[in-house]
Chain A
Amino acid sequence: MGSSGVARLQGLFAVYKPPGLKWLHLRETVELQLLKGLNAGKPRAPEQRVRFLLGPVEGSEEKKLTLTATSVPTLTTHRLMRGPAFTSLKIGVGHRLDVQASGVLVLGVGHGCRLLTYMYHAHLTKDYTVRGLLGKATDDFCEDGRLVEKTIYGHVTREKLDRILAVIQGSHQKALVTYSNLDLKSQEAYEMAVQGTIRPMNKSPMLITGIRCLYFAPPEFLIEVQCMHETQQQLRKLVHEIGLELKTTAVCMQVRRTRDGLFTLDDALLRTQWNLHSIQDAIQTAAPRVAAELERNLRRQEYIADQTAKTQVREREGTHRTQQSHKTDSLNRGPKTKKDQAEKCRRGD
């Protein structure tokens, strides 16, 4: 039971992190619960070992002694002698969430920790819902921070907010293309841009691929942000900056991640479901999707590597051709016209 339990416990799954819980505590709680489940399996049958014992020969009248091999029960492998079968598990955490943020948190168990690295290098976008409150400014952009300023917000309308969000999205769109290091002059890059799948595949500052307002009832508003390479504090700063653009101030009340790569809220497990069986089922359900996504991203990365290699080759070839032409000119000191040739013969070379 234990061995098959651990065999099914390899892969990625998503957990809903509640606000106020540190991600490290969450990881330790999940580890404890999994260990509890694994150690609760039925105990092993008592083992035996072979001993050579002295005893009388069977079927003989004399008192002859001989050594016979017998199975004797042994207690060395008893559960009370060896302790619990599982004492630790390798559990990795994907993109972290800070204490006040909540939402989907991807964890990897066993061999799934390797998949976490692949998912990181796939540079997928994440979805957040950010709740803001107009009229206040605090030092750490949170509602319970030290108050710095209070402003009026009566002049703020939905249209103004939408306009500002569109401006933000536009500026980040340009940055996306810049940081992606793709030569837009190529056909393939153009097609990717048309489809909207251009994004940087290495380190870059926070980039917003999409932002829109879901709900506006002053002083509260709710925006949905699709971004990559972000931290939650940067999202809170974004709310503050939106407030400044609207000529008022705003603080962030809630940052909640609704999607991390391909794990959505539906895949996330709640606190009551942090046990062995639910996690095993979640891993099994997510496994094919994860494999497909990584496959796709692997192909994309190969394609991009191909692209960059091609552009480099083209550049190198270009310089080489110009160099080649110079070389042939210098070598070709032979007569270019008949007149020269005649001149050459006349000179007697």
Chain B
Amino acid sequence: MALGSICGLQTMTKLNSSLRENCNLLNSQDSAFVNEAIYGSENFVTPRDIDILSNQKNLTDKDSNVKIHFDHGTTTLAFKFKHGVIVAVDSRATAGPYIASQTVKKVIEINPYLLGTMAGGAADCSFWERHLAKECRLHELRNKERISVAAASKLLANTVYNYKGMGLSMGTMIVGWDKKGPGLYYVDSDGERMKNNMFSVGSGSTYAYGVLDSGYKWNLSVEEAYDLGKRAIYHATHRDAYSGGVVNLYHMKESGWIKVSQTDVKELHYQYQEEKSRRR
């Protein structure tokens, strides 16, 4: 990097040697460990002499005997409206038919003005979105201004594209507010990156879309938007076996995001049932 050389940023090898001196390491093997400790998270440990792409086929192919089973199944949604972006997610993690947890946090707080949602493999989403947080911070430091939502989502999309075909499973929405106003992008592990006003991701997304589409308009009031988000997730959890738990609701405003509420889906069910009987 040009800026790096101007500022006298030491390259990796230089840092290595100074650290080696400080730690009194004489053995070249030890320096490999130090290397691993500092920069370890950047390098994925893989078996030597094995082509990853062909190996991964065994682990991800449906009919394979050694298929790695990830926690899947969820409903997440986000939509833009006059007063910002609403993000609503469920909180269930399943491993096959077993419910592993009903209290998973599927909205990842990247920084005070960027949110990412989690759908697909839980580990993949949380790791790469934390990686994205690091990249966004670096961007801020290098360019002295906040990263735009378009750029952040592009960073993520490009990162996962490098691992395309290796079995990453991630369907995430990047939500933020930048100079262009509210931003909402859908990024997934196939390298797809799309911009739109409304998205729903996960096994229960079809049910959520139905409710969202019937109640959505740009000029919703803040309270109406909160209600729509909660209702859409509730209906998805009601019909989809792999979604459930609580509804976590976030609102992205110009000043950053706020966590609006966390409501148990069971309470919503009986509340809506009462409303229905009152209307009749």
Q: Report if A and B associate in a common complex.
A: no
Chain A interface (Cβ < 8 Å from any Cβ of B)? none
Chain B interface (Cβ < 8 Å from any Cβ of A)? none
